[in-house]
Amino acid sequence: MPTIKDVARRAGVSVATVSYVLNNTGTVSEATRQRVLKAVEELGYRPSVIARGLQARESRMIGYSWQPMPPDQFNPILEKFIHSMAEAAARHGYHVLAYPCRTPANEVDVYREMVESDRVDGFILTNTNLDDPRVRYLLDVGFPFVAFGRSNPDWDFPWVDVDGADGVRQAVNHLLELGHRRIACLAWPKDSLTGQYRLQGYREAMADAGLEVDPAWVIRTENYYRHAYRATQRWLTLPPDRRPTAVIALTDLMAIGVMNAAADAGLRIGPDLAVVGFDDAPITGYLRPPLTSLRQPIAEVGERVVTMLIDLVQGQRPDPAQVLLKPRLIIRDSTRLSACTQYVTRNT
């Protein structure tokens, strides 16, 4: 690999001049400028990002870590998210360093190590929660980061989030328009901030419609298929006048659990029980029936967190520092009252 010295020698100038030409700084005559560029071209020279990094005390790397899903769950947004981040980063000469986050126990240690060894210039966090220790640590040491997701409202830090409350409100309103009144919500445990926001959207939309929420309609579970399945079975044992006619699940995976439980109980998804998911995983369109779901603008989130972070790294506070994007309700047959075909359980 040729270095800047080789270029300088071949062009008959000093390395400084070469550097000035390459960075468009300093004052260089057009003649030498051309000679230098010619030498660069002939040698196929490219500056070493490591040497540059040492000099500038920056790595032009963005760290991103996530927690792996359990084998029976799926992460429908990871691929698109990483991809949009990497694209946006590349446009500014940055790259994404992806690293796993083993156990949550030593989570902060992993961040600390990256910070102290100068591996990255900043971080993207996802899956933040209330009083997130990673956010706290990075705020304390003053290291640049942007979060996909909110945390403690009293902490001032840059984030981008998808307005889950708005999304669920859209879903409720859609179901209301279809005539549903007994709408259930399959929510997450109380310690999930994202779950809180989404559930809040549900309660607000119901209240706005003047509907009282039967406590039995809200069930909180971890994000597992089998929990959703069982929760649905519980709903179906309610007396007919309290039994939900529609369910909003906070995950496509849970929505699938709802659909399967209902189908197994002989209900037609759509006419007998409307189901809405969240995330619009690629699979949703191929389910029977296709699942109505809330699509998050993941590509835009990835793009924005990265450009905000690069602002931050380069010393300017991103503006705006907090961004709330709206999800979009993708309507499919799982919330149609009269689908022309239905897919139900049949005993053989």
Give Dmax over CA atoms of the chain in angstroms.
90
Residue closer to DNA (CB basis): 46 or 317: 46
Nearest to residue 48, comparing CAs of 16, 1, 88, 87?
A: 1
Binding to DNA by residue 86, rule CB under 7 A? Answer: no
Binding to a copy of itself by residue 266, rule CB under 8 A? Answer: no
Among 15, 97, 331, 344, binds DNA (CB under 7 A): 15
Backbone angles phi, psi at 163, to 5 degrees: -75, 90
Give strand pairing partners of 220: 187
Choose the binding region for a copy of itself from 9-17, 88-96, 122-130, 184-192 (rule: CB under 8 A).
88-96
Interacting positions 50-79 with DNA (CB under 7 A): 51-52, 54-57
Long-range own/partner contacts, residues 267-272 (CB < 8 A, 24 or more apart): 267/236, 267/344, 268/339, 268/342, 268/344, 269/333, 269/334, 269/342, 269/343, 270/333, 270/334, 270/335, 270/336, 270/337, 270/338, 270/339, 270/342, 271/336, 271/337, 271/338, 271/339, 271/342, 272/245
Q: Which amino acid is at 341?
A: T
Binding to a copy of itself by residue 104, rule CB under 8 A? Answer: no
Measure the CA–CA gap between 158 and 241, rounded to whole angstroms. 46
Binding partner selected for residue 3 from a copy of itself, DNA, none, CB under the kind-specific 5 to 8 Å limit: DNA
Binding to a copy of itself by residue 283, rule CB under 8 A? Answer: yes
Binding to DNA by residue 24, rule CB under 7 A? Answer: no
Binding partner selected for residue 29 from DNA, a copy of itself, none, CB under the kind-specific 5 to 8 Å limit: DNA
Choose the binding region for a copy of itself from 20-28, 40-48, 214-222, 317-325 (rule: CB under 8 A).
40-48
Binding to DNA by residue 13, rule CB under 7 A? Answer: yes
Given a contact cutoff of 8 angstroms between Cβ atoms, the answer to whether 171 and 248 are in contact is yes
Binding partner selected for residue 207 from a copy of itself, DNA, none, CB under the kind-specific 5 to 8 Å limit: none
- For the residues of 116-148, what is the DSSP string, one character each? HTT--SEEEEES--TT-HHHHHHHHHT--EEEE
Nearest approach in angstroms of CB 15 to DNA is 5
Measure the CA–CA gap between 174 and 275, rounded to whole angstroms. 11
How far are the Cα atoms of 76, 139, 250, 340 from residue 301, in angstroms, in the given order?
Answer: 14, 21, 19, 37
Binding partner selected for residue 17 from DNA, a copy of itself, none, CB under the kind-specific 5 to 8 Å limit: DNA
Nearest approach in angstroms of CB 208 to a copy of itself is 32
Residue closer to a copy of itself (CB basis): 176 or 265: 265
Binding to DNA by residue 23, rule CB under 7 A? Answer: yes
Binding to DNA by residue 141, rule CB under 7 A? Answer: no
> What is the CB neighbour count within 10 angstroms for residue 29?
9
Residues that bind a copy of itself (CB under 8 A): 1, 44, 46-51, 53-54, 59, 61, 68-69, 71-76, 78-80, 82-83, 86-87, 90, 95-100, 102, 113, 116-119, 225, 253, 256-257, 260, 263-264, 268, 271, 281-283, 285-286, 288, 338-348
Residues that bind DNA (CB under 7 A): 1, 3-5, 12-17, 19-20, 22-23, 25-29, 31-33, 45-48, 51-52, 54-57
